[in-house]
Each structure stands twice: as C-alpha cells, then as structure tokens.
Structure 1
Amino acid sequence: MSHALIQIQDRIAAAEARAGRPAGSVTLVAVSKTQPWEHIAPVLDAVQKVYGENRVQEAMERWGQRRLGLELRLIGPLQTNKAREAVGFFDVIETLDRDRLARVLAEEIQRAGKAPRLYVQVNIGEEEQKAGIAPAEADAFIKACRETYGLTIEGLMCIPPVGADPAPHFASLRAIAERNGVEKLSMGMSDDFEVAIAEGATSVRVGSAIFGSRT
C-alpha cells in the first residue's frame, strides 16, 4: 500500500470538505511521467486508476500491456505528428492549445471513430516558455474548436507561474470556463492542489508528492 497516496487522498477529501464540495468530486491524476516502474507499482496496487503522462511514446511503452481498467491522460504538449497515436491511446488529452492541433485532432477522431475527452490548455500566466492559448484568446479558440472543428471541449487546464500566488490564476481559469459553459477544470499540482480545489478544480495532477522525486 502506498502511504503517500493515502495521505494525498486524505488531503483531497479534507480540501473538498472545507470548500463545501461533495466527497469524491475531485479526481486525482497521478502524474507517472518519467517515474521508474518500482515507484508506480505500489500506487497501481493501491487501486489508483487515473494517470497523467507527458509523452505519447513513453506512455504507450509503460502502459500498453497494463491498459485495462485505467484512465490515461496526456498532460504534456502534443505534436501534430503524434495526434493519431494520442487519439488511439489516451482517454483524455489536456493540452489542446492551437488551431492546427484542433484541426488534426478533428481529422484523427473522424478517422478513428472514437474521441478522447478534450481539455484546452490556457497559458494562464502568459509565460513565454509555456504552452497554452493566451487567456484573451481562449473564448474565441473554444468557440472555434466547437464550431469550426466540431470538437467537444470537456475542460480547461492550466499551470500557474512558479512562485506566484496560484489562487488568482485558478480563479481566472474558472471564469473562462464558466462563461464558455465548460464543466471541468484540471488545475493544481503537488504544491498547490488544495488551493485549486478551493477554486473549483475537478481534477488535480499530483506527481512528486505521491511517487517521490523523479529520476
């Protein structure tokens, strides 16, 4: 049994209660990217079912033979040349952030006859080094995803600037979601997931606090 996983689950439950939200309303995404299997196995044995991965190929190699009963989310940037594999393999893609990717995903979804759930990544702190659509362009991009490309947008995802108070950034993402009728919010990581839950996160992405430092 993973004691770190139990601690995180308990903290999520406490944060839900403080925010007046129903128990179990927040999904824990265990960020397994770059972790060695000996760190992941005890968490999997503890019946954690939702995992986040950064790279398509790495995820397919790690989870290809262990796929049954799990939900896999792509939380790293997606290159268009990997879109076909991503559509075929992942349950959720959280990093839709540009028109060309929206067009390619729409084509691959049509071809495959199946669609992963899609989140738009918003560069909420407008940082040059980070992926994501600019907040000021998010409304128009969500509309284009729906109307131009025929995509269903389930949620929004963001990563606030390191060292900044995350609460205003999470609140900004929630505001974009609300005015666009988007239900899900993927926000909050190991250091700030309790703040994210208070601001309305429906899923939190926790890696090092569960698995320890990456190798």
Structure 2
Amino acid sequence: GYKEWVDGVRRVSPESRVWVQLGSVAAALEVARGARPDVLCLQGADAGGHGFEKGASIVSLVPETADALAAAGFADIALVASGGIVDGRGAAAALALGAQGVVMGTRFLASKEVKVHPKYQAAILEAQDGGQVTTRSKLFDQLRGPNIWPELYDGRGLVAQSHRDFASGMSLEEIQRLHNQEAAGEDKGYDTGLQGRAAIWAGTGVGLVNQIQSARDIVEKIREETKDVLLRVANV
C-alpha cells in the first residue's frame, strides 16, 4: 500500500518530498491517514491521460477535499490541482479554489522539449473545443491488448478513429487489428484531423493549446498570467 511505499522512500531518501496523485475526497483522506504525503495532487475529471473513471472537476474536488482534510487534521498537507489547466486563468482559478499550485500535462505536449511523435504534437495543436474532441474511455488502454489498469481507472484522449469505430459497434478484436497495423507504420498510428488510431492523451484544455514554446517560457508566461488575473479580480 501507500504507507509501505512512502515509508520506503523516506527511509532511503529523507530529503525527498512525496507527492501522491488521486481523484476523490475519499482517496485523499485514505492516503493522508495512511501515508501523510507532503503533497496531494488533486486530479479533476478534465485531466488527460489516466485518472479515476468517476470524478469531478477541480471546481468542486479541490475545495471539498481541502475542507475534508482540514477537518481531519491534515491541513498541513499541500494541495496542487490538475485537470484542464493550461494557462494563467486556470491556474488562478485553482489557487482561488484552495490549491497551492498546479500540475499541467497537456500544455507541455506543445513544448519544445517534449518527446512525442510530430503527428501527436500536431494533433494537440489543432484540436479545438476540448470537451467535444476528447473523451474518457477504457478503450484507449485496450488498443494494444489487455487493459492492465485497475478497474477504478480509465483515461481521457482525443476522439480519433479507433474510438469512433468502437462507438459504431466494431468489435474490439478488429479495432485492435487495425490499430496494430497502423501503429507499425512510420506515423505510429498518429494522425491529425482526429483520423489516427493510436491513443493521443489530452485533457479538455487542449483547445487552448495552440503554440509551441520552451518549457521555461510556458512556466514563466503562465506565472505572469496568473499574477495578472489575481490582481485584476482582487480589484473587483
């Protein structure tokens, strides 16, 4: 369990800070009681990639979790938010909700340093209306073969050809065959126009990601945007 893992990390590396990502109030309380990590990353349902199949956005997840932890005596555990945050407006909102910081994934898919296939990055940059072009599904983990993730989890990615075939009733075996056939090619199954067959993980904030920058520039820009937003709303 978490306690054994956290105790082991702290035993061999006392200066390390332990972060645990989760997606519900109940999970936060369980981990806080069992392992007392330094930081809890509260992952909302808007997040890309793997997360809890059942979940809420950070709008309710962060404040409810913060209240529950404080009531249980764990107010000292720092909270960071993730899921749908790609700019200073989202970061400022997370801080207003009670987080001490944010974690971003989808935004860095458009960084100069990221190691992804060019077609993968191009698909991220062209995607718009993130709540419509992404979906949560266990299918993404079944494309290559058996899904090894626990039942509690699914993942959010772009609604590409494999998912449309699944929704139209095509058998999983045929979807896997077509996926593996394209994944063996030069483009690894990735494509723009929501036409690829390989999973492209992305959160609902993907529609706001439209520029490639260095990771440093992304962080500095969002930090300044966040400050500007907080100063503006402070004067309302």
| Global fold match (TM > 0.5) | no
Larger radius of gyration: 2
Q: TM-score, normalised by structure 1?
A: 0.40
Give the TM-score normalised by the residue count of structure 2.
0.37
